[in-house]
């Protein structure tokens, strides 16, 4: 009887191939099959492009996942701003069996049943707004005995902090991660707590609104936005001016705590 293969979810980071961990590189080289989600059979996905730059000789299988989210679980409208199959951002609960998850899972299950270890690559980290979690859930439904292992990946906000020399947390401060895919209500709830640094994901289409909100609440100093971090077209900008803002779905906002804001105002931190 053929031994069931192992499924790996491998975070490949935000875009720079040098940010793949040594463990991720090893798993990708050792796996029988490396799989990357794409929105078109003819287009190289972002996660795929990172792996190809890091390991040029790797063979990558593409699985097609729709970029047209469908409302589920009682929600009556799809989110603004779209989504991307390989962004490491998932669809925030908006997908159906038609989106390609079930089809991709069936293909992966076939390979696993043949005894192949399969490494599924995803932007960022496999457990943070990742396509992999939906894929893994579908595979488990089809093949309950499968063994799954995830390899953590560097997140976009960490790269944005490094690029802008932004201290994310210090002393007893907290960090909150919110999304702005539908509105800015989650962000608004946390802005009043000055001891909390805030990261906003999936808010590219709302960046002007976010920037205005930060200025109105006194949280714009030191706040930065990054678009396509480590990928072609990367942009990083301050949210404390009238500069044209990034608009990609793959945008990240980093808002320092008030103590870090004071450091910036004193000229001791990022400009």
For 117-151, write each residue's pLDDT tens digit. Answer: 999 999 999 999 999 999 999 999 999 999 999 99
For 195-212, write each residue's pLDDT tens digit. Answer: 899 999 988 888 999 999
Out of 125, 151, 177, pick the residue that ends a domain. 151
Write out the H or E segment, with its range, that includes residue 207: helix 207-216
Instruction: Give CA–CA dist 206/208, Å, rounded.
Output: 6
Are residues 122 and 183 part of one domain?
no
Tell me, yes or no, whether 271 lies in a domain. no
Handedness of CA 157, 159, 160, 165 (dihedral sign): positive
Are residues 138 and 62 part of one domain?
yes
Tell me, yes or no, whether 24 lies in a domain. yes
Are residues 141 and 209 part of one domain?
no
184 and 203 in contact (C-beta within 8 Å)? yes
Are residues 16 and 142 part of one domain?
yes
Are residues 162 and 146 part of one domain?
no
Out of 122, 151, 180, pick the residue that ends a domain. 151
Are residues 140 and 19 part of one domain?
yes
Are residues 214 and 85 part of one domain?
no
Q: In the chain, how many domains are there?
A: 2
> What is the extent of the structural domain holding 131?
6-151
Tell me, yes or no, whether 270 lies in a domain. no
Out of 120, 151, 182, pick the residue that ends a domain. 151
For 62-121, write each residue's pLDDT tens digit. Answer: 999 875 444 333 333 333 333 344 444 433 333 444 468 999 999 999 999 999 999 999
252 and 157 in contact (C-beta within 8 Å)? yes
Are residues 210 and 146 part of one domain?
no
Are residues 143 and 236 part of one domain?
no
243-247: Cβ within 8 A, 24+ apart:
245/207, 245/208, 245/211, 246/204, 246/207, 247/204, 247/205, 247/207
Closest of 147, 149, 111, 146 to residue 33, by C-alpha: 111
**Backbone angles phi and psi of 254, in degrees to 5:** -125, 120
> Residue 16 is part of a domain; what is its CATH number?
3.40.1010.10
> Residue 221 is part of a domain; what is its CATH number?
3.30.950.10
In percent, the amount of the chain with pLDDT more than 70 equals 82
Give the pLDDT band of residue 246 (cuts 50, 70, 90): low
Are residues 167 and 70 part of one domain?
no
Are residues 99 and 192 part of one domain?
no
């Amino acid at each position: 009887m053929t031994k069931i293969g192992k499924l790996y979810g491998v975070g490949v980071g935000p875009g720079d191939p040098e940010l793949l961990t040594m463990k991720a590189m090893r798993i990708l080289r050792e796996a029988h099959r490396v799989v990357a989600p794409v929105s078109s059979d003819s287009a190289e996905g972002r996660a795929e492009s990172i792996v190809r730059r890091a390991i040029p000789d790797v063979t990558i299988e593409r699985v097609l996942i729709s970029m047209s989210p469908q409302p589920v679980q009682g929600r009556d409208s799809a989110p603004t701003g779209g989504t991307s199959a390989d962004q490491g951002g998932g669809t925030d609960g908006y997908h159906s069996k038609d989106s390609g998850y079930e089809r991709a899972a069936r293909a992966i299950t076939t390979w696993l049943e043949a005894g192949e270890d399969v490494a599924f690559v995803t932007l960022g980290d496999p457990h943070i707004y990742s396509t992999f979690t939906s894929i893994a859930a579908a595979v488990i439904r089809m093949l309950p005995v499968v063994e799954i292992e995830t390899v953590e990946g560097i997140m976009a906000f960490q790269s944005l902090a490094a690029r802008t020399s932004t201290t994310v947390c210090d002393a007893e401060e907290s960090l909150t991660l919110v999304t702005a895919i539908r509105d800015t209500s989650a962000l608004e709830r946390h802005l009043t707590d000055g001891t909390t640094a805030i990261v906003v994901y999936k808010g590219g289409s709302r960046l002007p609104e976010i920037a205005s909100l930060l200025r109105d609440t006194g949280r714009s100093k030191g706040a930065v936005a990054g678009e396509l971090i480590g990928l072609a077209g990367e942009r990083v900008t301050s949210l404390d001016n009238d500069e044209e803002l990034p608009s990609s779905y793959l945008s990240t906002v980093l808002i320092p705590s008030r103590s870090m804001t004071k450091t910036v105002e004193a000229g001791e931190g990022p400009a």
